[in-house]
Amino acid sequence: MTAFKSDFLRVLDERGLIHQVADPEGLDALCRTGVQTAYVGYDATATSIHIGNLITVTLLYWFQETGHRPITLMGGGTSMVGDPSFRDDQRKLLSVEEIATNIESIKRVFGRILRYGDGPTDALMVNNADWLLKLNYVEFLRYVGRHFSVNRMLSFDSVKLRLDRDQSLSFLEFNYMIMQGYDFVELNRRYGCSLQMGGSDQWGNIINGVDLSHRMGGPQLYAVTTPLLTTASGQKMGKTANGAVWLNGDLFSPYDFWQYFRNTEDADVGRFLKVFTRLPLGEIARLEALGGAEINEAKKVLATEITAIVHGREAAEAAAETARKTFEEGSLATDLPSVSMTRTEFEAGLGVLTAFVKAGLLPSTGEARRQVKAGGLRVNDVLVSDERAVLGSADLTSDGAVKLSFGKKKHVLLRPE
Protein backbone atom coordinates (compact mmCIF):
# COMPACT_ATOMS: atom_id res chain seq x y z
CA MET A 1 0.00 0.00 0.00
CA THR A 2 1.44 3.33 -1.01
CA ALA A 3 1.46 6.45 1.13
CA PHE A 4 -1.91 8.13 1.38
CA LYS A 5 -2.29 11.68 0.19
CA SER A 6 -5.42 12.62 2.09
CA ASP A 7 -5.03 13.91 5.64
CA PHE A 8 -7.62 11.50 6.92
CA LEU A 9 -6.14 8.25 5.67
CA ARG A 10 -2.62 9.38 6.37
CA VAL A 11 -3.43 9.99 10.03
CA LEU A 12 -5.17 6.64 10.37
CA ASP A 13 -2.31 4.87 8.69
CA GLU A 14 0.35 6.52 10.84
CA ARG A 15 -1.51 5.60 13.98
CA GLY A 16 -2.03 1.99 13.09
CA LEU A 17 -5.78 2.33 12.89
CA ILE A 18 -6.22 0.66 9.52
CA HIS A 19 -6.83 -3.02 9.09
CA GLN A 20 -8.49 -3.15 5.69
CA VAL A 21 -9.65 -0.58 3.17
CA ALA A 22 -11.96 -1.15 0.23
CA ASP A 23 -10.60 0.75 -2.78
CA PRO A 24 -7.85 2.68 -0.98
CA GLU A 25 -6.88 4.83 -3.98
CA GLY A 26 -10.45 5.79 -4.66
CA LEU A 27 -11.14 6.68 -1.06
CA ASP A 28 -7.89 8.59 -0.75
CA ALA A 29 -8.79 10.69 -3.77
CA LEU A 30 -12.34 11.23 -2.54
CA CYS A 31 -11.14 12.50 0.83
CA ARG A 32 -9.23 15.24 -0.96
CA THR A 33 -12.26 16.59 -2.78
CA GLY A 34 -14.02 18.44 -0.02
CA VAL A 35 -16.20 17.49 2.88
CA GLN A 36 -17.15 13.83 2.96
CA THR A 37 -19.53 11.90 5.19
CA ALA A 38 -18.76 8.63 6.99
CA TYR A 39 -20.55 6.54 9.57
CA VAL A 40 -20.04 3.88 12.18
CA GLY A 41 -22.95 1.86 13.51
CA TYR A 42 -23.38 1.04 17.18
CA ASP A 43 -25.65 -1.70 18.42
CA ALA A 44 -27.81 -1.01 21.42
CA THR A 45 -27.01 -4.26 23.20
CA ALA A 46 -25.93 -2.60 26.46
CA THR A 47 -26.32 0.70 28.25
CA SER A 48 -22.83 1.77 27.25
CA ILE A 49 -20.29 1.17 24.57
CA HIS A 50 -16.97 -0.26 25.69
CA ILE A 51 -13.31 0.22 25.07
CA GLY A 52 -13.39 -1.87 21.89
CA ASN A 53 -15.87 0.56 20.39
CA LEU A 54 -13.76 3.54 21.38
CA ILE A 55 -11.41 2.91 18.47
CA THR A 56 -14.16 3.38 15.95
CA VAL A 57 -15.24 6.58 17.67
CA THR A 58 -11.63 7.63 17.33
CA LEU A 59 -11.88 7.03 13.59
CA LEU A 60 -14.83 9.38 13.50
CA TYR A 61 -12.93 11.88 15.60
CA TRP A 62 -10.04 11.97 13.13
CA PHE A 63 -12.49 12.09 10.26
CA GLN A 64 -14.06 15.22 11.72
CA GLU A 65 -10.69 16.61 12.69
CA THR A 66 -9.48 16.35 9.10
CA GLY A 67 -12.42 18.30 7.79
CA HIS A 68 -15.26 15.84 7.29
CA ARG A 69 -18.65 14.99 8.68
CA PRO A 70 -19.12 11.93 10.90
CA ILE A 71 -22.38 10.12 11.57
CA THR A 72 -22.96 7.95 14.60
CA LEU A 73 -25.64 5.47 13.69
CA MET A 74 -27.63 4.02 16.55
CA GLY A 75 -28.82 0.51 15.77
CA GLY A 76 -32.35 0.93 17.02
CA GLY A 77 -33.59 -1.22 14.16
CA THR A 78 -30.72 -3.67 13.75
CA SER A 79 -30.58 -4.35 17.48
CA MET A 80 -33.99 -5.93 17.16
CA VAL A 81 -32.36 -8.61 15.06
CA GLY A 82 -28.88 -9.07 16.54
CA ASP A 83 -25.59 -9.34 14.72
CA PRO A 84 -24.50 -12.99 14.40
CA SER A 85 -21.00 -12.10 13.20
CA PHE A 86 -18.36 -14.31 14.78
CA ARG A 87 -20.67 -15.43 17.52
CA ASP A 88 -21.26 -19.06 18.29
CA ASP A 89 -24.66 -18.60 19.79
CA GLN A 90 -27.72 -16.50 19.23
CA ARG A 91 -28.05 -13.26 21.13
CA LYS A 92 -30.87 -12.88 23.54
CA LEU A 93 -33.59 -10.87 21.91
CA LEU A 94 -33.83 -7.38 23.29
CA SER A 95 -37.15 -5.75 23.99
CA VAL A 96 -38.08 -2.46 22.38
CA GLU A 97 -37.86 -0.75 25.77
CA GLU A 98 -34.40 -2.12 26.46
CA ILE A 99 -33.17 -0.87 23.12
CA ALA A 100 -34.59 2.58 23.73
CA THR A 101 -33.00 2.96 27.17
CA ASN A 102 -29.72 1.58 25.89
CA ILE A 103 -29.59 4.11 23.08
CA GLU A 104 -30.30 7.01 25.41
CA SER A 105 -27.53 5.88 27.71
CA ILE A 106 -25.02 5.19 24.94
CA LYS A 107 -25.51 8.59 23.38
CA ARG A 108 -23.93 10.40 26.30
CA VAL A 109 -20.38 9.36 25.48
CA PHE A 110 -20.33 10.55 21.90
CA GLY A 111 -20.98 14.17 22.74
CA ARG A 112 -17.68 14.38 24.55
CA ILE A 113 -15.65 13.04 21.67
CA LEU A 114 -17.42 14.41 18.60
CA ARG A 115 -18.82 17.86 17.91
CA TYR A 116 -22.49 17.66 17.01
CA GLY A 117 -24.50 20.42 15.39
CA ASP A 118 -25.78 21.82 12.13
CA GLY A 119 -22.54 23.00 10.57
CA PRO A 120 -21.07 21.32 7.48
CA THR A 121 -18.61 19.20 9.46
CA ASP A 122 -20.72 18.83 12.59
CA ALA A 123 -21.53 15.26 13.53
CA LEU A 124 -24.98 13.73 13.14
CA MET A 125 -26.72 11.23 15.36
CA VAL A 126 -29.02 8.96 13.38
CA ASN A 127 -31.13 5.93 14.28
CA ASN A 128 -31.72 3.20 11.72
CA ALA A 129 -35.06 2.39 13.34
CA ASP A 130 -36.26 5.44 11.41
CA TRP A 131 -36.23 3.54 8.16
CA LEU A 132 -35.86 -0.14 9.04
CA LEU A 133 -38.96 -0.43 11.19
CA LYS A 134 -41.35 0.74 8.53
CA LEU A 135 -40.12 -1.46 5.73
CA ASN A 136 -42.70 -3.54 3.96
CA TYR A 137 -41.55 -7.16 3.86
CA VAL A 138 -42.33 -8.20 0.30
CA GLU A 139 -41.42 -4.84 -1.09
CA PHE A 140 -38.07 -4.98 0.71
CA LEU A 141 -37.38 -8.48 -0.60
CA ARG A 142 -38.06 -7.44 -4.19
CA TYR A 143 -36.21 -4.19 -3.91
CA VAL A 144 -33.17 -5.18 -1.84
CA GLY A 145 -33.33 -8.91 -1.19
CA ARG A 146 -32.93 -9.90 -4.82
CA HIS A 147 -29.45 -8.41 -4.86
CA PHE A 148 -28.16 -10.72 -2.18
CA SER A 149 -26.81 -14.14 -3.05
CA VAL A 150 -27.33 -16.68 -0.32
CA ASN A 151 -24.43 -18.68 -1.71
CA ARG A 152 -22.19 -15.71 -1.14
CA MET A 153 -23.61 -14.82 2.24
CA LEU A 154 -22.90 -18.33 3.42
CA SER A 155 -19.30 -17.95 2.41
CA PHE A 156 -18.58 -15.08 4.83
CA ASP A 157 -16.18 -15.85 7.62
CA SER A 158 -18.47 -14.12 10.07
CA VAL A 159 -21.05 -16.90 9.84
CA LYS A 160 -18.78 -19.78 8.88
CA LEU A 161 -17.97 -20.45 12.50
CA ARG A 162 -21.60 -21.19 13.19
CA LEU A 163 -22.11 -23.26 10.10
CA ASP A 164 -18.92 -25.28 10.45
CA ARG A 165 -19.82 -26.18 13.99
CA ASP A 166 -23.26 -27.28 12.89
CA GLN A 167 -24.78 -24.67 15.14
CA SER A 168 -27.95 -23.14 13.96
CA LEU A 169 -28.06 -19.72 12.43
CA SER A 170 -31.60 -18.49 12.51
CA PHE A 171 -33.16 -16.74 9.58
CA LEU A 172 -33.67 -13.73 11.81
CA GLU A 173 -29.94 -13.36 12.39
CA PHE A 174 -29.15 -14.17 8.79
CA ASN A 175 -31.01 -11.01 7.84
CA TYR A 176 -28.75 -8.81 9.90
CA MET A 177 -26.17 -8.37 7.19
CA ILE A 178 -28.83 -7.45 4.68
CA MET A 179 -30.14 -4.77 6.99
CA GLN A 180 -26.69 -3.39 7.61
CA GLY A 181 -26.00 -3.35 3.90
CA TYR A 182 -29.21 -1.51 3.33
CA ASP A 183 -28.36 1.01 6.06
CA PHE A 184 -25.28 2.04 4.15
CA VAL A 185 -27.24 2.60 0.95
CA GLU A 186 -29.91 4.50 2.84
CA LEU A 187 -27.37 6.73 4.58
CA ASN A 188 -25.78 7.46 1.25
CA ARG A 189 -29.13 8.45 -0.12
CA ARG A 190 -30.11 10.60 2.84
CA TYR A 191 -26.82 12.19 3.76
CA GLY A 192 -24.45 11.47 0.90
CA CYS A 193 -22.54 9.16 3.21
CA SER A 194 -19.97 7.22 1.21
CA LEU A 195 -17.78 5.60 3.83
CA GLN A 196 -18.56 3.07 6.52
CA MET A 197 -16.04 2.21 9.18
CA GLY A 198 -15.97 -0.40 11.91
CA GLY A 199 -14.03 -3.12 13.65
CA SER A 200 -12.41 -5.84 11.57
CA ASP A 201 -15.26 -8.17 12.44
CA GLN A 202 -17.57 -5.88 10.48
CA TRP A 203 -15.73 -6.16 7.18
CA GLY A 204 -18.16 -8.61 5.64
CA ASN A 205 -21.18 -6.62 6.69
CA ILE A 206 -19.71 -3.40 5.40
CA ILE A 207 -18.73 -4.89 2.07
CA ASN A 208 -22.30 -6.07 1.66
CA GLY A 209 -23.35 -2.45 1.69
CA VAL A 210 -20.71 -1.51 -0.85
CA ASP A 211 -21.88 -4.30 -3.15
CA LEU A 212 -25.52 -3.48 -2.66
CA SER A 213 -24.95 0.08 -3.77
CA HIS A 214 -23.30 -1.19 -6.95
CA ARG A 215 -26.08 -3.61 -7.71
CA MET A 216 -28.76 -1.04 -7.12
CA GLY A 217 -27.04 1.34 -9.45
CA GLY A 218 -25.84 3.62 -6.69
CA PRO A 219 -22.47 5.32 -6.27
CA GLN A 220 -19.20 3.75 -5.25
CA LEU A 221 -19.04 3.33 -1.49
CA TYR A 222 -15.98 2.76 0.64
CA ALA A 223 -14.99 0.76 3.70
CA VAL A 224 -12.34 1.06 6.39
CA THR A 225 -11.89 -1.37 9.27
CA THR A 226 -9.64 -1.20 12.31
CA PRO A 227 -7.56 -4.02 13.70
CA LEU A 228 -8.95 -6.01 16.60
CA LEU A 229 -7.10 -4.72 19.61
CA THR A 230 -5.37 -7.33 21.67
CA THR A 231 -2.75 -6.99 24.36
CA ALA A 232 0.79 -8.07 23.63
CA SER A 233 0.19 -11.27 25.54
CA GLY A 234 -2.69 -12.10 23.27
CA GLN A 235 -5.70 -11.23 25.40
CA LYS A 236 -8.63 -9.41 23.96
CA MET A 237 -8.70 -5.89 25.26
CA GLY A 238 -11.23 -4.58 27.63
CA LYS A 239 -12.04 -7.47 29.90
CA THR A 240 -11.67 -7.17 33.64
CA ALA A 241 -12.89 -9.15 36.60
CA ASN A 242 -16.09 -7.16 36.67
CA GLY A 243 -16.74 -7.43 32.95
CA ALA A 244 -16.07 -5.06 30.11
CA VAL A 245 -14.31 -1.74 30.33
CA TRP A 246 -17.32 0.48 29.77
CA LEU A 247 -17.09 4.09 28.73
CA ASN A 248 -20.02 5.28 30.82
CA GLY A 249 -18.83 6.43 34.22
CA ASP A 250 -21.72 4.87 36.09
CA LEU A 251 -20.69 1.41 34.91
CA PHE A 252 -16.94 1.85 35.15
CA SER A 253 -15.62 4.78 37.14
CA PRO A 254 -13.07 7.25 35.74
CA TYR A 255 -10.68 6.14 38.47
CA ASP A 256 -10.97 2.47 37.45
CA PHE A 257 -10.70 3.49 33.82
CA TRP A 258 -7.48 5.35 34.52
CA GLN A 259 -6.16 2.35 36.44
CA TYR A 260 -7.00 0.02 33.59
CA PHE A 261 -4.66 1.87 31.26
CA ARG A 262 -2.08 2.57 33.93
CA ASN A 263 -1.65 -1.22 34.06
CA THR A 264 -0.97 -1.58 30.35
CA GLU A 265 1.75 -4.05 29.45
CA ASP A 266 5.07 -2.46 28.49
CA ALA A 267 4.91 -3.81 24.99
CA ASP A 268 1.55 -2.18 24.33
CA VAL A 269 2.28 1.36 25.46
CA GLY A 270 3.36 2.80 22.13
CA ARG A 271 0.64 1.13 20.18
CA PHE A 272 -2.08 2.24 22.58
CA LEU A 273 -0.80 5.80 22.65
CA LYS A 274 -1.08 5.96 18.89
CA VAL A 275 -4.43 4.31 18.67
CA PHE A 276 -6.24 5.99 21.53
CA THR A 277 -4.65 9.35 22.23
CA ARG A 278 -4.21 12.45 20.12
CA LEU A 279 -0.65 13.13 21.13
CA PRO A 280 1.72 13.97 18.27
CA LEU A 281 3.64 11.00 16.94
CA GLY A 282 6.97 12.53 17.90
CA GLU A 283 5.91 12.75 21.51
CA ILE A 284 4.66 9.19 21.39
CA ALA A 285 7.95 7.98 19.97
CA ARG A 286 9.75 9.64 22.88
CA LEU A 287 7.48 8.07 25.49
CA GLU A 288 7.63 4.69 23.85
CA ALA A 289 11.41 4.72 23.95
CA LEU A 290 11.54 5.00 27.73
CA GLY A 291 13.12 1.87 29.13
CA GLY A 292 12.73 -0.13 32.30
CA ALA A 293 10.76 1.45 35.10
CA GLU A 294 10.72 4.76 33.26
CA ILE A 295 8.08 3.49 30.93
CA ASN A 296 5.72 3.94 33.86
CA GLU A 297 5.77 7.64 33.05
CA ALA A 298 4.47 6.80 29.59
CA LYS A 299 1.74 4.65 31.11
CA LYS A 300 0.58 7.54 33.25
CA VAL A 301 0.40 9.80 30.22
CA LEU A 302 -1.50 7.11 28.36
CA ALA A 303 -3.97 6.64 31.20
CA THR A 304 -4.55 10.34 31.68
CA GLU A 305 -4.95 11.11 27.99
CA ILE A 306 -7.48 8.36 27.32
CA THR A 307 -9.40 9.12 30.48
CA ALA A 308 -9.52 12.77 29.46
CA ILE A 309 -11.02 11.84 26.11
CA VAL A 310 -13.71 9.67 27.63
CA HIS A 311 -14.44 11.35 30.96
CA GLY A 312 -13.04 14.83 30.56
CA ARG A 313 -9.71 16.40 31.48
CA GLU A 314 -10.76 17.23 35.01
CA ALA A 315 -11.80 13.70 35.89
CA ALA A 316 -8.60 12.39 34.35
CA GLU A 317 -6.38 14.69 36.39
CA ALA A 318 -8.30 13.78 39.53
CA ALA A 319 -7.82 10.07 38.89
CA ALA A 320 -4.12 10.62 38.26
CA GLU A 321 -3.76 12.59 41.47
CA THR A 322 -5.62 10.01 43.53
CA ALA A 323 -3.40 7.30 42.11
CA ARG A 324 -0.28 9.34 42.85
CA LYS A 325 -1.21 9.83 46.49
CA THR A 326 -2.20 6.22 46.93
CA PHE A 327 0.62 4.47 45.14
CA GLU A 328 3.55 6.85 45.19
CA GLU A 329 3.10 8.82 48.33
CA GLY A 330 1.46 5.98 50.19
CA SER A 331 -0.74 8.55 51.85
CA LEU A 332 -4.43 8.41 52.27
CA ALA A 333 -6.04 9.94 49.25
CA THR A 334 -9.32 11.31 50.49
CA ASP A 335 -10.87 11.10 47.07
CA LEU A 336 -10.44 7.38 46.65
CA PRO A 337 -13.72 5.74 45.75
CA SER A 338 -15.71 5.80 48.95
CA VAL A 339 -18.76 4.03 50.27
CA SER A 340 -20.85 5.50 53.01
CA MET A 341 -22.91 3.79 55.67
CA THR A 342 -24.84 4.89 58.72
CA ARG A 343 -22.96 5.67 61.88
CA THR A 344 -25.19 3.45 63.98
CA GLU A 345 -24.62 0.52 61.69
CA PHE A 346 -20.89 1.06 61.90
CA GLU A 347 -20.79 1.43 65.66
CA ALA A 348 -22.92 -1.64 66.19
CA GLY A 349 -19.81 -3.60 65.31
CA LEU A 350 -18.94 -4.41 61.72
CA GLY A 351 -17.12 -7.65 60.92
CA VAL A 352 -14.14 -7.20 58.60
CA LEU A 353 -15.51 -9.69 56.13
CA THR A 354 -18.82 -7.90 55.92
CA ALA A 355 -17.06 -4.55 55.66
CA PHE A 356 -15.24 -5.60 52.48
CA VAL A 357 -18.46 -6.89 50.99
CA LYS A 358 -20.30 -3.68 51.91
CA ALA A 359 -17.53 -1.65 50.33
CA GLY A 360 -18.13 -3.53 47.09
CA LEU A 361 -14.60 -4.86 46.94
CA LEU A 362 -15.65 -8.48 47.24
CA PRO A 363 -18.80 -10.32 46.24
CA SER A 364 -19.34 -12.42 49.35
CA THR A 365 -18.09 -13.06 52.83
CA GLY A 366 -16.97 -16.47 51.64
CA GLU A 367 -14.67 -14.81 49.14
CA ALA A 368 -13.50 -12.42 51.87
CA ARG A 369 -12.68 -15.37 54.08
CA ARG A 370 -10.54 -16.87 51.35
CA GLN A 371 -8.76 -13.61 50.75
CA VAL A 372 -7.90 -13.33 54.43
CA LYS A 373 -6.23 -16.73 54.18
CA ALA A 374 -4.43 -15.64 51.02
CA GLY A 375 -3.27 -12.45 52.69
CA GLY A 376 -5.04 -10.15 50.29
CA LEU A 377 -6.98 -7.85 52.61
CA ARG A 378 -5.80 -4.79 54.50
CA VAL A 379 -7.51 -2.35 56.84
CA ASN A 380 -5.73 1.01 56.97
CA ASP A 381 -2.78 -0.71 55.31
CA VAL A 382 -2.54 -3.34 58.02
CA LEU A 383 -2.88 -6.94 56.89
CA VAL A 384 -6.04 -8.66 58.11
CA SER A 385 -5.11 -11.93 59.75
CA ASP A 386 -8.18 -12.61 61.87
CA GLU A 387 -11.36 -13.11 59.92
CA ARG A 388 -13.39 -12.51 63.06
CA ALA A 389 -11.98 -9.05 63.64
CA VAL A 390 -14.55 -6.31 64.15
CA LEU A 391 -14.16 -2.73 63.02
CA GLY A 392 -14.93 0.11 65.39
CA SER A 393 -14.39 3.80 66.00
CA ALA A 394 -10.77 3.10 66.82
CA ASP A 395 -10.20 2.21 63.18
CA LEU A 396 -11.35 5.57 61.86
CA THR A 397 -8.57 7.75 60.61
CA SER A 398 -8.43 11.46 61.30
CA ASP A 399 -10.42 11.86 58.12
CA GLY A 400 -13.25 9.86 59.63
CA ALA A 401 -13.02 6.88 57.31
CA VAL A 402 -11.58 3.39 57.20
CA LYS A 403 -9.37 2.47 54.25
CA LEU A 404 -10.06 -1.01 52.97
CA SER A 405 -7.65 -2.53 50.47
CA PHE A 406 -8.09 -5.64 48.39
CA GLY A 407 -4.83 -6.67 46.83
CA LYS A 408 -2.41 -3.90 46.06
CA LYS A 409 -4.51 -1.93 43.66
CA LYS A 410 -8.06 -1.80 44.85
CA HIS A 411 -8.82 0.61 47.66
CA VAL A 412 -12.07 1.94 49.03
CA LEU A 413 -12.82 4.32 51.88
CA LEU A 414 -15.67 3.30 54.14
CA ARG A 415 -17.30 6.34 55.70
CA PRO A 416 -19.78 6.12 58.56
CA GLU A 417 -22.05 9.14 58.44
Partner RNA sequence: GGGGGAAUGUCCCGAGCGGCAAAGGGGGCGGACUGUAAAUCCGCUGGCUAUGCCUUCGCAGGUUCGAGUCCUGCUUCCCCCA
**363: contact with RNA by CB under 7 A:** yes
* By CB under 7 A, residue 374 contacts RNA: yes
* Binder of RNA out of 56, 205, 259, 277 (CB under 7 A): 259
Closest CA to 385 of 376, 404, 372: 372
Cα distances (Å, whole numbers) of residue 332 to 71, 336, 384, 411: 45, 8, 18, 10
> Which part of the chain contacts RNA (CB under 7 A), choosing from 1-9, 35-43, 128-136, 401-409?
401-409
Nearer Cβ to RNA (25/335) = 335
Cα dist from 303 to 54, 103, 262, 306, whole Å: 14, 27, 5, 6
Among 14, 130, 157, 265, binds RNA (CB under 7 A): 265
Cα–Cα distance for residue pair 206/195, rounded to 1 Å: 9
Residue 39 touching RNA (CB under 7 A): no
- The SS3 call for residue 146 is helix
Q: Does 266 bind RNA (CB under 7 A)?
A: yes
Alpha helices by DSSP H, listed for 235-312, are 254-262, 269-276, 281-288, 295-311
Secondary element (H or E) of residue 71? strand 69-75
Among 50, 271, 410, 411, contact with RNA (rule: CB under 7 A): 410
Does residue 365 belong to the site contacting RNA (CB under 7 A)? yes
Kindly report each contact of residues 263-268 with a partner whose C-beta sits within 8 Å and lies 24 or more positions away, as own/partner: 263/299, 263/409, 264/231, 264/299, 264/302, 264/303, 265/231, 265/232, 265/233, 266/232, 266/295, 267/232, 268/231, 268/232
How far apart CA 413 and CA 417 sit, in angstroms, is 12
For residue 412, the minimal CB distance to RNA (Å) is 13
Quick note: the x/- pattern for RNA over 85-124, rule CB under 7 A, is ----------------------------------------
Task: Identify which range of 214-222, 247-255, 309-317, 356-364 contacts RNA by CB under 7 A.
Answer: 356-364
Examine residue 327 and tell whether it contacts RNA (CB under 7 A). Answer: yes
User: Is residue 341 a contact residue for RNA (CB under 7 A)?
Assistant: no
Written as one letter, the residue type at 111 is G
Q: Give the nearer residue to RNA in terms of CB position, either 197 or 384.
A: 384
What residue type is assigned to position 345 of the chain? E
How many residues bind RNA, per CB under 7 A? 45
Min CB(322)–RNA separation in Å = 8
The Cα-based distances of 341 to 84, 303, 346 in angstroms read 45, 31, 7
Q: How far is the CB of 327 from RNA (least distance, A)?
A: 4
371 binds RNA (CB under 7 A): yes
Q: How far is the CB of 409 from RNA (least distance, A)?
A: 5
Q: At CA 313, angle to CA 317 and CA 74, rounded to 5?
A: 135
Binding positions for RNA, rule: CB under 7 A: 166-168, 232-233, 235, 239-241, 259, 262-266, 292-293, 295-296, 299, 323-324, 326-328, 353-354, 357, 363-367, 369-371, 373-376, 406-410
